[in-house]
Homo-oligomer: A and B are copies of this chain.
Amino acid sequence: MTKTNPGNFFEDFHQDQEIIHATPRTVTHGDVATYLSLFGSRFPVHSSRVFAQDLGYDEMPIDDMLAFHLVFGKTVPDISLNAVANLGYADGRFGVSVQVGDTLTTVSRVIGLKENSNGQTGVVYVRSTGRNQRGEMVVEYARWVMVRKRDQTRPTPPTVVPNLPKVVAASELSVPAGITVAKYNTALAGSPHLWDDYQVGEKIDHVDGMTIEEAEHQMATRLYQNTAKVHFNLHQQSKDRFGKRLIYGGHVISLARALSFNGLANAFRVVAINGGSHANPTFAGCTIYAWSEVLEKMTLPNRSDIGALRLRTVAVKDMTCEAFPYKDAEGKYDPQVVLDFDYTVLVPRQIGKA
């Protein structure tokens, strides 16, 4: 029996299968600093203990997307090592905030299977749940990937396509316990614009651009212990159609979130990932710009001091965003668009301010 992990192929998955992923992970201030040095995020709640405590947190929470990547990274060796394509995300919810010292583990459940008509590949749907050392959910999400069959003669499993929501409802959004915006300081936060100031349909060009280096995306992806080969192996990738390493799609999500500070500085927490698509590949040397559209304004049950904004943030490579590049008339993504990310953030409301 080989002692190396060949990854799972389509026929290795079965409906309702539970997969315990390896390498639990204690989060440290080192992770936070490395992440900061790679993305440069300026949201103060992840940068200042004092600011976080004024907002009602016990301690600084780590960046929500860092928590997502740590939880996601563990699933790669089991779910997507033989993936042909990462097809989508849905129904992502952030639960208890992650703090330095927490230990994260991830478990996935197979929630759908659909073999493709060519008999060579199939789509695997999983729900992955990250928990802390107390068993509390920190983030969970559905994801579907196209995976190769190893043995094409194996029978086709019954097709199950899960019914996933287009948007996580306001009633499902988790406001961290103890949060209060009474002492929220917009000068230190970097912007006066609160929930009340945003309009549905409003588009924001985040202006700044950030060029990605090979060392940077490799360091980020290793920090999450994500083992996907295409990000790390130039020798193999040089024989591939692109001839170079592909950047982890999550890297672009983190960059877009960091760039979105310029225009969304008070969006202090990501609470939901409604959907996401990596529209085109990203490579080292690309400069990433981003723009956002406010898709929806949500009030929260029992909270008049905090509201939610559902956003579409679009990341674009090597093109500025004053024209908000997106899709053409046929609905096809502009070739410079690399990310179409639909998510929900929490923002203080005017009424919450003393």
A positions within 8 Å CB-CB of B: 3-5, 20, 22-26, 28-34, 36-40, 42-44, 47-51, 60, 77, 101, 103, 105, 133, 187-191, 193, 197-198, 204-211, 213-216, 218-223, 225, 227, 229, 232-236, 245, 262-265, 285, 287, 289, 318-319
> Taking the nearest CB of chain B, how far is it from the CB of A20, in angstroms?
4
A60 engages B211 (CB within 8 Å): no
- The residue in chain B whose Cβ has the minimal distance to the Cβ of A107 is B187
Among B42, B77, B103, B219, contact of A22 (Cβ-Cβ < 8 Å):
B42
Question: Given A23-B190, A213-B218, A287-B233, are A33 and B36 neighbors across the interface (CB < 8 Å)?
Answer: no
> Taking the nearest CB of chain B, how far is it from the CB of A286, in angstroms?
8
A28 engages B33 (CB within 8 Å): yes
B211 engages A234 (CB within 8 Å): yes
B227 engages A208 (CB within 8 Å): yes
Give the complex CA separation of A28 and B27 in angstroms: 13
Among B188, B197, B209, B213, contact of A3 (Cβ-Cβ < 8 Å):
B197
Specify which of A32, A39, A285 lies most central, judged by the most chain B CB atoms within 10 Å of its CB.
Answer: A32
Give the complex CA separation of A300 and B219 in angstroms: 37
Give the complex CA separation of A36 and B219 in angstroms: 8
- The residue in chain B whose Cβ has the minimal distance to the Cβ of A234 is B211
Question: Given A37-B219, A235-B211, are A187 and B227 neighbors across the interface (CB < 8 Å)?
Answer: no
Give the complex CA separation of A187 and B108 in angstroms: 13
A42-B225, A235-B287 known, 18 other contacts, Cβ within 8 Å: A3-B263, A4-B205, A4-B263, A23-B188, A23-B190, A25-B47, A26-B47, A30-B32, A33-B33, A33-B34, A40-B222, A40-B223, A40-B225, A50-B103, A211-B245, A215-B216, A234-B287, A235-B319
